[in-house]
Structure 1
């Protein structure tokens, strides 16, 4: 048994470095810096490159002390900007200073010598100011995605993952043209943001898919896709695409449906392709069934239409029984809907997740759980037969 004297000789500086690093990784920047002042050993760990590979910049006025917070981020970029590999930016865009500092971070990353940045995501957490277009963010992204600045001799690493789904500003085609021309090794791109009008044209997406031969994940609105894009993904001299995320909105009133032939060719060339297919409340209801083509290997289906639908659920059971794993449904209850859901649960043997945002009949809920062993096993479902304050967030649920 250890003596009291042994315990007296222990100090924080005797902790192994890998333990200290694990501790510091769980702290935000301010607390991490304060912890580094404990001793020389902890300060050495604070400056280890592994501490800076994944970093989250937060510009939330109501949470962070402004001046010390920004100073700390500037010091971080100056000393460790070349170590950053995966960067997240979260900001309340309603504050002008937050927007300014977030853009400064993006621009600083673009000009950091020896940059190793491989992944970036930007997320707005508040509401856009009136008449706000976000032009400064578009300009900053163009700088980041652009060619190596002439003042930097060392080549910069190419960006592999870009997630702009949380950035509520209208992108134009030039952003993706610059991204494709200077980052041909891009692997993942998500541009499913909340802007009412999508300005990413099929021609710009085709250019990106042609340039980025290693692209394995693309998440975009249906109006930004075309038969030529799917045909390009089916080419044999590229890395097989793994996941397509497609959302259909109001633009489908005027857009063309991707043809069955190109879907068949793509699935034949990439048999392991996963597709997430979504419809929001702005998508014309008469187009939903047309866009739910049987050739698409849909793993996740989101019918967030808020209308009374059931035929589309029956279509999902008929078309996607070999592939469907998740269903999200925002609608109103009816006897036809209950029958359709029971049919889907019995037909889709791979279904392991189901979220239904309306109050169903008790026998329907029990029937779904009895028919799907995977759903019961994963317990990944929202099925209610009584109205409840949570998790209901979609209108006023009725039990009719």
Structure 2
């Protein structure tokens, strides 16, 4: 257990209220990739999680290069996670070697000051995910521009789409930027208050970064009239989650026409209808690179047959001809 190779991928859960054994303080500095799960219901768990992080980077020569933080449980009423977020910043003072920071599992609003501080403390970041489940987007586009300037090696980024702007995308076009690999975008009601992105700028980004893949999640709080504006044809969409619970007939048709060459995963939450069956069958003939399809409403048997026939790489699907008790089981193909 004292050999560094034993601590390449490490997951630690702080959810019992018990303190972490002191003997771990000798071993934690060897961790390279840490997934830290903290039950935020009790202060003792939060303190234990911060202790783990402090010990991981305590020596100043930490091997930690990737950190993922997940919050478990229901936060106390009016608790905004300030102790956890400030503790994270205090610890990252010695975390300049960090190349991956994943905060998608942190449910608290991440503001401009926090994100700028993270970028300043960790200039070697190559991947940064701040597209969490917060109900509010607290990061403006100018902050994202600062992130790109402070972290010149960044090639993978997860954001609320409301944090994007034409200027941010133009910064990604600069010749000194490395090849962009992945963008994750969470689209929710904050998009009502920002200027929409035109298809032309996405076409320029795609030309500048030909291997770029974009993952889109459209939240149920996104007004229906904004959905088609988000689904610009030139975006190289790989994973698409349409979690809007609205009629999606036109949107599914648009997806089939626009993302036939890039789409690998599709998830829908919508209302069943014969029309939906028809457009899904058409989509199956267009998006033949699909590996996963998950439709959380009843479909016809013809829809299942269409996806299994035309999508030769299909590995998983959730397509049901009748309702089942929640949660619906996923079918895995061998």
Alignment partners' CA distance in 1, 2:6 and 2:264: 37
SS in 2 for 1:366: helix
Q: 2:193 aligns with which of 234, 254, 257?
A: 254
Query: CA deviation digits over 1:32-66, x for unaligned, max 9?
Result: xxxxxxxxxxxxxx2222223332221112xxxx5
Moved over 6 A (4+): none
- 2:169 is aligned to 230
Shift of 1:374: 2.6
Please state how far the C-alpha of 1:71 moved relative to its aligned partner. Answer: 4.1
Higher helix share: 1
| Counterpart secondary structure, 1:374 | coil
Q: CA deviation at 1:118?
A: 0.8
Of the three residues 62, 73, 82, the one matched with 1:115 is 62
Pick aligned residue for 2:298 from 348, 355, 359: 359
Give 1:189 shift.
0.9
**What's the CA shift string for 1:340-360, capped at 9, x where partnerless?**
111111111212211000011
Higher relative CO (CA 8 A, sep ≥ 6), structure 1 or 2? 2
2:241 aligned residue = 302
| Deviation sequence 1:160-211 (CA, Å, 0-9, x none) | 0001111112212122212222322211111121111121221111101122
Q: Equivalent of 1:212, from 148, 151, 157?
A: 151
- Deviation string, structure 1 residues 279-337 (Cα, Å, up to 9, x no partner): 01100000000111011111111111112221100000111112111110011101221
Using the alignment, how far apart are the partners of 1:114 and 1:254 within structure 2?
Answer: 44
- Between the aligned partners of 1:47 and 1:364, the Cα distance in structure 2 is 54
- Confirm whether residue 286 of structure 1 aligns to residue 225 of structure 2: yes
Q: Aligned with 1:185: secondary structure?
A: coil
Residue pairs, 1:62-81, within 5 angstroms: 67=18, 70-72=19-21, 74-77=22-25, 79-81=26-28
Aligned mates of 1:87, 1:364 — CA distance in 2: 41
Are 2:81 and 1:134 equivalent residues in the alignment? Answer: yes
SS in 2 for 1:162: strand
CA distance in 1, matches of 2:8, 2:302: 51
Query: For the structure 1 residues 115 and 374, does the alpha-carbon distance in structure 2 shift closer, same or farther, using more than 3 Å as the test?
Result: closer
Find the aligned partners of 2:85 and 2:326 in 1 and give their Cα distance: 37
Alignment of 1:22-61 (within 5 A): 46-61=1-16
Tell me, what secondary structure is at the counterpart of 1:220?
A: strand
- Residue matched to 1:396: none
Task: Tell me if structure 1 keeps the 8 A contact 2:20–2:48.
Answer: no
Instruction: Provide, for residues 247-286 of structure 1, a one-character-per-residue CA deviation record: whole Å limited to 9, x for no partner.
Output: 1101112222122232121111111110111101100000
Alignment CA distance shift 1:110-1:328 (3 Å): same
TM-score for the superposition, normalised by structure 2: 0.93
Q: Quick one: distance in 2 between partners of 1:71 and 1:392?
A: 37
Residue 126 of structure 2 corresponds to: 187
Q: Please give the alpha-carbon distance, in whole angstroms, between the structure 2 residues aligned to 1:176 and 1:110.
A: 20
Query: Which structure features the higher share of strand residues?
Result: 2
CA contact (8 A) 2:96 2:121 kept: no
Identify the residue that residue 72 of structure 2 maps to in structure 1.
125
- Secondary structure of 1:244's counterpart equals strand
Q: What residue is the counterpart of 1:385 in the other structure?
A: 321
Structure 2 distance, partners of 1:175, 1:144, is 13
Q: Is the 8 A contact 1:110 1:143 kept in 2?
A: no
Q: CA RMSD in A?
A: 1.8
In the alignment of these two chains, the number of paired residues is 329
Contact preservation (8 Å) 1:107, 1:140: no
Q: Which runs of 5+ in 2 are unaligned?
A: 330-334
Q: Report deviation, 1:373.
A: 2.5
Structure 1: which 5+ residue stretches go unaligned?
Answer: 1-45, 149-155, 394-400
The question of whether the paired residues in 2 share the 8 Å contact of 1:305 and 1:330 is answered with yes
C-alpha contact (below 8 Å) 1:103/1:136 kept by paired residues:
no
- Over 3 Å counting, the alpha-carbon distance change for 1:368 and 1:80 in structure 2 is closer
CA–CA separation in structure 2 for the residues paired with 1:266 and 1:89? 34
